[in-house]
Amino acid sequence: MTETQSGNLSFDNHKLDRLLEQAGLDAVLITSKHNIQYLLGGYRYFFYSFMDAHGLSRYLPFIVYVRGNLDKAAYVGSPMERFEKDLGKFWMSKTDFTSMTTVKYAAAAAAHLQKVGLASGRIGIEPGYLPVDAYEALRSALPEAKLENATFPLELLRTVKTPTELAILKAASEKVIDSMAAVFATHGPGSTKNELIAALRKEEQDRGLLFEYCLCNIGTDFNRAPSNQVWKDGEVLCLDSGGNYQGYIGDLARMAYAGKPDSELEDLLGFIEEVQQAARKPIKPGALGGEIYVVPDQLVAKSPLKANLEFVAHGMGIVSHEGPWLTDRCSVPYEAYHAGQPLEAGMVLSIETTLHHPKRGFIKLEDTVVVTDTSWESYGDGARGWNG
């Protein structure tokens, strides 16, 4: 490892080395866009930002990371990424820009491992982000190597956010909320889902966000897909949107009502707010991740609407539902690894409570909360009541 290389890194290479050592891996082949982005300080090649397909194959960059030795790291990318190298986007000294198919990208990565003496090593891969033809090319080129799943250590690497990452996530969350507030202020009954989503897209883009999605619910229709459904007087509206800012997701949900909300609606949203606030109270460094669920689960269990209520807290960052993983009872399957682990400053959580009320409709709040040095801080905490 050289001092210059280590000083240019945006990630903790010593932590990655420890995680790979614990997993018994000599090196890792990184092929997911989000982990390449993380190890390259936010880099994603712009030419393939819309689609990876190219000719009869696809773009498949590799980072070859050798445990404990940055000098042996390499990047394998598209020939056109030479322009990015000229701009200093890659911290590793070894690069290969000769490939244009998945098999050739994989062959180049395997050739580099052979050069650095790891042809028979224990090599981590990301199975969910490695096409079968590329995997077969690796197996053919490295017959004595053991290819093992490295998804978990790579995800653990990103679980605690740096101050720079936190600043980006805060900005993303605030921009999403400001965008929603603007849509609520300028649209009312008579607007369709498609019009509301298009307006939100424009508001987010005007604030520098890359619009990713909006899950939209009107009234008692629990279908969240875009459509020409019309928002009518006396109906609730939920906007649940992910806006991407510099590679990080602001994911929040807020409510509006076409008219003056009655006491029942105030009580229903008030209960959801109570659950949301209860989830925040135990959050601090050292608290077990599972403590976040204790009081919210109790509140939901006591509610007469418990069959229609759902509470979940999950990690947030470059991707949704990244670490910390607090429950194995949500729609996205994973083990509750952090439920019994202490929370750490810099962990970021998305906390959401959803009610599918059979008569009043879909009512939800989703917040972004970060573990601080002493407690917690919520990002984008505005527009929490009935907007409209």
Per residue in 87-123, pLDDT (tens digit) is: 999 999 999 999 999 999 999 999 999 999 999 999 9
Tell me how far apart the alpha carbons of residues 122 and 31 are, in angstroms, rounded to a whole number: 17
Is the domain of 206 the same as that of 112?
no
Last residue of a domain, one of 128, 157, 186: 157
pTM of the model: 0.95
Is the domain of 36 the same as that of 113?
yes
User: Is 300 in contact with 306 (CB distance < 8 Å)?
Assistant: yes
DSSP code, position 271: H
Last residue of a domain, one of 142, 157, 172: 157
Beta bridge partners, 378, equal 369
Is the domain of 73 the same as that of 207?
no
Tell me how far apart the alpha carbons of residues 309 and 129 are, in angstroms, rounded to a whole number: 34
Is the domain of 46 the same as that of 172?
no
| CATH code, 8 | 3.40.350.10
Last residue of a domain, one of 157, 174, 199: 157
Is the domain of 170 the same as that of 232?
yes
- Predicted confidence at residue 334, as pLDDT, reads 95
User: 270 CB contacts (<8 Å, ≥6 apart)?
Assistant: none
| CATH code, 315 | 3.90.230.10
The total number of structural domains in the chain stands at 2
- Predicted confidence at residue 8, as pLDDT, reads 79
Is the domain of 250 the same as that of 374?
yes
Domain that holds residue 367: 163-387
pLDDT tens-place string over residues 139-164: 999 999 999 999 999 999 999 999 99
How far from each other are the two terminal CA atoms of the chain, in whole angstroms?
A: 57
Is the domain of 150 the same as that of 276?
no
Copy the structure tokens of residue 300.
């939901």
User: 48 CB contacts (<8 Å, ≥6 apart)?
Assistant: 54, 59, 78
pLDDT tens-place string over residues 62-94: 999 999 999 999 999 999 999 999 999 999 999
- Predicted confidence at residue 7, as pLDDT, reads 56
Is the domain of 95 the same as that of 115?
yes
Is the domain of 171 the same as that of 144?
no
Is the domain of 196 the same as that of 146?
no
Long-range contacts of 339-343 (CB under 8 A, 24+ apart): 339/288, 339/289, 339/290, 339/293, 340/288, 340/289, 340/290, 341/288, 341/289, 342/285, 342/286, 342/287, 342/288, 342/289, 343/283, 343/284, 343/285, 343/286, 343/287, 343/288, 343/289, 343/371
DSSP code, position 161: P
Tell me how far apart the alpha carbons of residues 145 and 357 are, in angstroms, rounded to a whole number: 55
Residue with tokens 């682990």: 341
Is the domain of 104 the same as that of 169?
no
Is the domain of 58 the same as that of 193?
no
